[in-house]
Amino acid sequence: MVFPKLPRSFTRKLHKTENKRERTIQGNFLIPVPPGSSLPDDFPKRVSLGEILVDAQTKRILSPVNGLASLTADRTHFQIKQDGAWRTDSPLQITSYTYETFLEICKVGALASLDFEHLTLDQYFSSFKKDGTFDIFLAPYARYNYLPFSNFILDEMPEAFKEFESLIRKIFPNAKIHNEIKPDFIPFKHPDGIPEFFISQKTGSTIRDATTALDSRTVMYLGPETIYHILRMAFYNEPFTRRHLYVCLVDRKGRMDTESRFYLLTNGQSLDFVIKNFDSRYKIASFQSMYEGVNSLDIRSLGNFDIYNHSILLLYERLPVIRNSFACIDCYECNTYCPTNANPIAVVKNNSEEFVKSQCIQCGICTLYCPSGIDIRSKIQGLV
């Protein structure tokens, strides 16, 4: 398989602390086997870039390179020893798809929804009726909008995006398309990238109704990172074997550096380069966003890039302070900042029946703003 030419957005940005000579890719790749997968017995075997390693129900894993693939002794990981280089000069190829060939290309490219977990795109598209009347939202924000994928699409692949819009118009002729990916700057604030929230804002409905619309397939939601990878596969022949990792630095005082810094990484590649590319004062790492809490790791044990689970990496100068949790001081900050009026204080006050569960989108904002350090989000997760 030919590998496509990289648009400018693929060029990783170099931070002043980075070693510009450092290569990010090493020759050995380690990829987790999805739990419960039934694995063929033909390993070790030679594989090519884009070849299926395993086709699990909710995830397809493709070989990210040409090389020799084997299983680790405990059969929990594929290990691939790369041999040879791959080409990076595949041009734009405007291809005409039918509904069936489009589903096939989603499958071949292992395209997954990056807006909803555990959903392949061929499953998602085929869960809508071809002649159904429903709304399709081409949304401008990725879940936490780490990176401006809308701009990547419009700056680097405008023709492909136009073609994609025509394609979905053709395959879902009765659907109404809302193209929200526009060239003008659209201010973002969390939780705008959470599908239920976005749809409720756009349609003026409650979170409950937006969730029902998404679940019952009267609304299709495609976020910009998902669209980005559709375009790469459908019009540049690039399967889902690489993904952007956004890196954010947090100093000793807990201040986040807002510079946009990212890498385009290959599934399974070692993350050892991170240690060499950043100042040695960054010792702690976490793959969670600030809204999800911190599962801290020593930066020396980052392991390998996992395309399904790694899209953000926070590097800390020191272990974030584990805030002691104090008694609620009735400041109502949680309720004030809750974007959906779910009444989170009720959970803290043990009045769970007054918490509006159906309105909660698990955004984590209430926890972030609580001055008493109460982990309201975890308490909610026990209820939802």
Q: Where along the sequence are the contacts to ligand SF4 (CB under 6 A)?
A: 328-334, 338, 340, 342, 344-345, 348, 360-366, 370-372, 374, 376-377, 380
C-alpha pair distances (Å), 73 with each of 8, 45, 202, 267:
40, 15, 50, 20
- Minimum distance, C-beta of residue 325 to ligand SF4, in the bound complex (Å): 9
Residue with Cβ nearer ligand SF4 (157 or 363): 363
- Minimum distance, C-beta of residue 364 to ligand SF4, in the bound complex (Å): 5
- Minimum distance, C-beta of residue 336 to ligand SF4, in the bound complex (Å): 8
- Minimum distance, C-beta of residue 375 to ligand SF4, in the bound complex (Å): 10
Is the sign of the CA dihedral 146, 147, 153, 155 positive or negative? positive
- Minimum distance, C-beta of residue 290 to ligand SF4, in the bound complex (Å): 13
Sheet of 242-250, strands arranged across: 262-266, 242-250, 312-316, 284-286, 297-298
Residue with Cβ nearer ligand SF4 (209 or 272): 209
Residue with Cβ nearer ligand SF4 (43 or 188): 188
- Minimum distance, C-beta of residue 294 to ligand SF4, in the bound complex (Å): 17
Q: Could you tell me where the beta strands, DSSP code E, fall in the chain? A: 28-32, 45-47, 52-55, 60-62, 67-71, 77-82, 135-138, 176-179, 219-222, 242-250, 262-266, 284-286, 297-298, 312-316
- Minimum distance, C-beta of residue 384 to ligand SF4, in the bound complex (Å): 9
Residue with Cβ nearer ligand SF4 (53 or 374): 374
Distance (Å, whole) CA 56 – CA 35: 9
- Minimum distance, C-beta of residue 199 to ligand SF4, in the bound complex (Å): 15
- Minimum distance, C-beta of residue 362 to ligand SF4, in the bound complex (Å): 5
Which residues lie closer than 8 Å to 186 by C-beta, 6 or more apart? 140, 141, 150, 180
Distance (Å, whole) CA 16 – CA 368: 30
Residue with Cβ nearer ligand SF4 (164 or 355): 355
Residues facing 176 on adjacent strands: 135
Residue type, 99: Y
Residue with Cβ nearer ligand SF4 (28 or 352): 352
Residue with Cβ nearer ligand SF4 (202 or 357): 357
For residue 26, give both structure tokens.
């090493």
Distance (Å, whole) CA 137 – CA 215: 14
Which residues lie closer than 8 Å to 212 by C-beta, 6 or more apart? none
Residue with Cβ nearer ligand SF4 (157 or 334): 334
Residue with Cβ nearer ligand SF4 (28 or 212): 212
For residue 157, give both structure tokens.
């692949």
Distance (Å, whole) CA 239 – CA 112: 11
User: What DSSP assignment string belongs to 56-77?
Assistant: -SS-EEE-SSSEEEEE-TTSSE
- Give the number of other CB atoms < 10 A from CB of residue 281: 13
Residue with Cβ nearer ligand SF4 (194 or 275): 194
- Minimum distance, C-beta of residue 101 to ligand SF4, in the bound complex (Å): 40
Distance (Å, whole) CA 228 – CA 44: 33
Please count the CA atoms within 13 angstroms of the CA of 43 that sit on its side-chain side: 20
